[in-house]
Amino acid sequence: MTADVRWPDSLWAAVTPPGPDLPELRGSETTDVVVIGGGFSGLSTALHLREAGVEVAVVEAAEPGWGASGRNNGQVIPTLSRPDPDNIVAKHGAAGERLVGLIRDSASILFDVVKRHGIDAEQEQNGWVQPVHSPGRIKIAERRVRQWSKVGAPVELLSREQVRDMLGSDAWFGGFWNRTGGHINPLALARGLARTVVAQGGKIFARSPAVSIERRGDRWIVKTAQGEISGRALVVASNAYTGEFSKMLAPAIAREVMPVRSWQMATQPLSDNVRKSMIPGRQAMSDTHGELIFGRFDARNRFVTGGAIIRPFNQIATLKARVGKRLQALWPQIGEVRFDYVWNGFIGMTTDYLPHIHRLGPNAYGWTGCNGRGVALSIALGDQLSKAVQGAPDNELALPFTEPTPIPANELLRPFAPLMMVLYRHRDSKEIA
Ligand SMILES: Cc1cc2nc3c(=O)[nH]c(=O)nc-3n(C[C@H](O)[C@H](O)[C@H](O)COP(=O)(O)OP(=O)(O)OC[C@H]3O[C@@H](n4cnc5c(N)ncnc54)[C@H](O)[C@@H]3O)c2cc1C
């Protein structure tokens, strides 16, 4: 069986040079660590293992970056979407404190990996801004600045005027920013990581969906339609796409996230004048709406943003009209907006908005649930997972292990996930207490 490896009609697929030529998994292979999934989590795990001299093979169903990693907005964000440091520590204690430290450092970890290996991912580490969309929500920014400052993150509260200067729009009421954030071309990062893993002696098998995992003696065996690979240790890094190619792969992980479709869009390249008047410092931004307003410029001055849609028909035309109008309201100088690319991908949402990290058996690990903030996190977790399979003790890892907790009736609820947007829109229109 050969998997369907068509790429979505994304900006990133159009502008990114091809990745390395990779073989399919055929026959019988042996390695030390088998990684399932060639997104940021799997590739970062593999790269950190090769840096430590450990043998590793990645088994990817399609091509590196084909999942969320090659489709996202490319915002490098050193926070989670909702939980703040106090929530993480309240839930996970000392391991939570280490996870908070990892999230705090995650953007810099990503930019360091890129620099260390000379990867061209159109990276710009010029900060990540969260403006607030109502006067009362400045409390959210204040809380985040207070909690992240306490753990040493370089965050700053922004007044309404500072946000207006930073974003070139009067639509927001203040906010905060973290200077270590920024943005990348995510597919270029995924392909760059894949190239580096191979150059460092790691193996990547593409177009090879894993169909089962089994324990044979003291080895993990991962089977595909045409081959199998055996390893001492295993990392399941298929995240929100677990279950996409095989329902039997890791059902406990597949069922604990709700994959929610997120639409991404890229405008035509904007003129220099318009570009300089919208976010002159080129930071990445995502605001406090549940129906998120977000965006960043790419290397060709396209504004890369997106939107949400509930109705199941005429989606692309509706999105173009809706998001175009929104951009004109925020930045009237943009004029007529033409979207050259519209695509989507699945974000893995958990019910507590936290990442769920698991020990799946002896020397076997997995995680899921990025809740839309996984670019920096998955690269940083890859480093931690590589340490876990090398035998680092739990008290040295920023990995708060839990048991998988499936969402009841997960499969039945999936078609209704877009309806959550009705609730978000309602909340967005209210001031918070
Ligand atoms: C549209 C969109 C926008 C986003 N925007 C942002 C953003 O701006 N900032 C941010 O921080 N986060 C963002 N995210 C989240 C971020 O992209 C993810 O958290 C991150 O890429 C997860 O990486 P991953 O490697 O864990 O998973 P993925 O990149 O999804 O990789 C999983 C891989 O596993 C493979 N796989 C699945 N099943 C099998 C199998 N049976 N055998 C072998 N391989 C298999 C898939 O093909 C896939 O390549 C966004 C996500 C989406 C979808």
Domain span at residue 192 reads 11-73+187-256+351-410
Could you tell me the distance, in angstroms and rounded to a whole number, from the CA of residue 29 to the centre of ligand 1? 26
Closest CA to 262 of 317, 309, 327, 324: 309
Indicate whether 339 belongs to any domain: no
pLDDT at 4: 58
C-alpha distances in Å from residue 30, one per residue of 49, 54, 64, 130, 334: 16, 13, 21, 46, 55
Is ligand 1 within 6 A of the CB of residue 184?
Answer: no
For residue 384, being part of any structural domain is answered with yes
Q: What pLDDT sits at residue 336?
A: 95
Ligand 1 atom closest to the CA of 42, numbered from 1:
25
Residue 50 inside a domain? The answer is yes
**Cβ of 181 less than 6 Å from ligand 1:** no
Q: How far is the CA of 57 from the centre of ligand 1 (A)?
A: 18
Rounded to whole angstroms, how far apart are CA atoms 228 and 380?
A: 28
> Is 219 within the bounds of a domain?
yes
Q: Residues 34, 233: contact at Cβ < 8 Å?
A: yes
- Residue 114: per-residue pLDDT: 98
Residue 419 is predicted with a pLDDT of: 76
The ligand 1 atom at the shortest distance from the C-alpha of residue 343 is 1
Q: Would residue 25 count as lying in a domain?
A: yes
Ligand 1 lined by 192 (C-beta under 6 Å): no
Q: How far apart are CA 21 and CA 16, in angstroms?
A: 15
R_g over Cα of the chain: 21
In sequence order, what are the beta bridge partners of 227? 27
Residue 414 confidence (pLDDT): 77
Q: Which atom of ligand 1 is nearest to the CA of 246?
A: 41
**Does residue 123 form part of some domain?**
no
Listed as ranges, residues in the chain with pLDDT below 70 are: 1-4, 432-433
208 CA from centroid of ligand 1 (Å): 17
Name the residue at shortest CA distance from atom 25 of ligand 1: 39
To the nearest whole percent, how much of the chain has pLDDT over 70?
Answer: 98
Query: 79 in ligand 1 pocket by Cβ < 6 Å?
Result: no
In a domain, 242, yes or no: yes
Question: Residue 25 corresponds to which tokens in the numbers above?
Answer: 């998994």
Q: How confident is the model over 300-331, as pLDDT tens digits? A: 999 999 998 888 888 999 999 999 999 999 99
Ligand 1 probe mutation, 5, 60, 253, 258, most atoms within 8 A of CB: 60
User: Which residue's CA is the nearest one to ligand 1's atom 4?
Assistant: 72
β-partners of residue 317 are none
Whether 44 is in the pocket of ligand 1, judged by its Cβ within 6 Å, is: no
What is the β-pairing status of strands 227-236 and 219-224?
antiparallel
Question: Is residue 369 within 8 Å of residue 349, measured between CB atoms?
Answer: yes
- Assess if residue 109 is contained within a domain: no
What's the CA gap between 177 and 144, in Å, rounded? 10
CATH assignment at residue 224: 3.50.50.60
Q: How many domains does the chain have?
A: 1
Nearest CA among 213, 169, 183 for reference residue 364: 213
